[in-house]
Structure 1
Amino acid sequence: MKEIELNSLTLEETKDIMLSLGEKAYRGEQLFSSFNRNKELDIEEINILPQKLRKMLIEKGKVRKINILKKFSSNIDDTRKYLFLLEDGNIIESVLMVYPHGNSICISTQVGCRMGCEFCASTKEGRIRNLTTSEMLNQIYLIEKDLDENIDNIVLMGSGEPLDNYENTLKFLNIIHEPKGHNTSYRNITLSTCGIVPKIYDLANENLPITLSISLHSPFDSEREKMMPIAKTYNIEKLLKASKYYEEITNRRVTFEYTLIEGVNDRCEDINELGKLLKDINSHVNLIPLNPIKEYNRERPELSSVEKFKNKLEKRHIKATVRKEKGTDISASCGQLRRDYIERSQ
């Protein structure tokens, strides 16, 4: 038990730990709720547990913590960006966005990313390591404590590829949904992936009613491969087959993320091909004007061109929206703020 990370355990795993220590299972519920409902990470302060048990847990287990390193508030809207310092000195980031329907948080699932998408700042140094389940959970809990407000919607779309950290991500979903913990509805959770096809099938078979958001970015394999190395392994045909399977198993509409890049994927032929590809999938296209980074200095289309692209898709009976940009004055796109902070600190 020495290396077990207590605040990364599911409810059932926490009960099992208590039974292994000769305690009743309900003590596991108490510890689990202390971590995930009360957001208490200091076992000494969990007074509902007997002092002898607290001492035993401290001796035999580990509670992993993260700390808020820095926070930034947008002057444009209510967006807030958080940098977190991990125990090993690595830095991750989260974004809080305020909408009329509630607070949404975009969390990281890895330190860095190895997927190599051309226009993403998160991936430029590669993947350093996976986040543990508790490091994902505590991004939410620390921001809630900082704001003294609840988070209503969770998006796994920060730094990292969630399906490349599959087991920890699955445990995160289990724990954040558990009624004796945070009790977040699966329908309020979105998982974004660049398209690791085998893991999309695995996730579908879990039959969790979360929203799956897939990075498409081009309807042509030749163009998509230039932007996303994963496309060389899983072409669009394989990706859409997996998407269709996910939709049929979970009965959930699939979202396709589509970053619009001037002169690259915003042409009439792109619209026509998207219409053909998506006509038989219950899906929605989320159009994102490119946010240029120095390593990918392409141009973003004018907003009027983005709206025209959207309207032409809708004429082909493809549902589409344009993502509203938030927190542009605090580098709110994935990975930007972390990279900027690290570069300035060196």
Structure 2
Amino acid sequence: MLLNPSHCVTLEELRLFNPPLFKSLNGMKEMKPSDFAEYLKFEGADEGLSVEEYIDSTLAEKFGPESGIGWQLDAVRQGFSRVISIEQLGRVGMNDEDLGNIIYGGSSDRGSEDFTISDVFRVAADSDFTSCRPLADTFWQTVNNFEPQMKRKFIKFVTGVDTLPLVGTEFLRIEMPFTAISADDHEKSLRMLPQAHHGEHEADSNLVAELGVLLHKKLQDAVEYSSGYGLDGTAEVEGVFVKKSGGDDDDQLVNASYDSLGLPALSERPSTADPVADNSQPSPPASATDQENEALVEGSAENSSEKPAAVVSPRQEESYDDYDWEEEEEEEQ
């Protein structure tokens, strides 16, 4: 539809992007003539249409050049032709199937069919990587021996999509995180390698085997516990941090979402600054004598409320006027 504006979707093409509609239209071929005639009458369609004619008219109405999506396809076609013209694709012999494979990947992009990563991509690696044959050989041996599903996860981790391009159409660049330039850099690199005190051949074999195990673990962890260069699933790896920190489980296993919002989690323990709950024991029940005394006190209070209220003298500091101290001095004289 992109390369040919007059193209109309066929029933087989409909199966690829709209399986429910394909099943519905294809099921009409199994209908009885009387049932199909009733269906045409119910839909208000021409009763003289055959099953094939009705299917073609439905596809043209929904996906044809004059359909409701026709103007949308024209807009997509105009934007695509600004990048590369349709005539240029025709001159190189590229058809719609080739273009679909380039954009969406081949037929085995998401299936269980195995493939070799180093054969699908054009590899561009740093000289430090290619010059170290044990590292390069172990890397490709590890990656190409992944399970098919793991390979697709690795492709998604590296490229951002899990589809495979056409063979040799995309680059896969391998960069070394550290490049040794000076003599000191090379000396540091050598000191970082595992050391062995056995025979030369046995030491090399042990180092290569250890390198393979290390690469397999690092790559698998990166693919399984990340999504496109970023660690997103903190809940999946929070147990690792607990083991490394050695702290209390209740203090360590705190939901990451609470940390991002600045809210306390339900599993957090109260800090020392929190008010201490009242743990005092309830007072014992009062005896019969105490209850009688309380009854007498209540009765006296009721009687006193009927009498006039006694005058209460003010506090001592409120009974003096501003100049009372002068009168006291005169009396003393």
Does the TM-score normalized on the shorter chain lie above 0.5? no
Q: Which has the larger radius of gyration?
A: 2
Question: Would you tell me which structure has more strand in proportion to its own residues?
Answer: 1
**TM-score, normalized by length of structure 2?**
0.22
Question: Would you tell me which structure has more helix in proportion to its own residues?
Answer: 2
**TM-score, normalized by length of structure 1?**
0.21
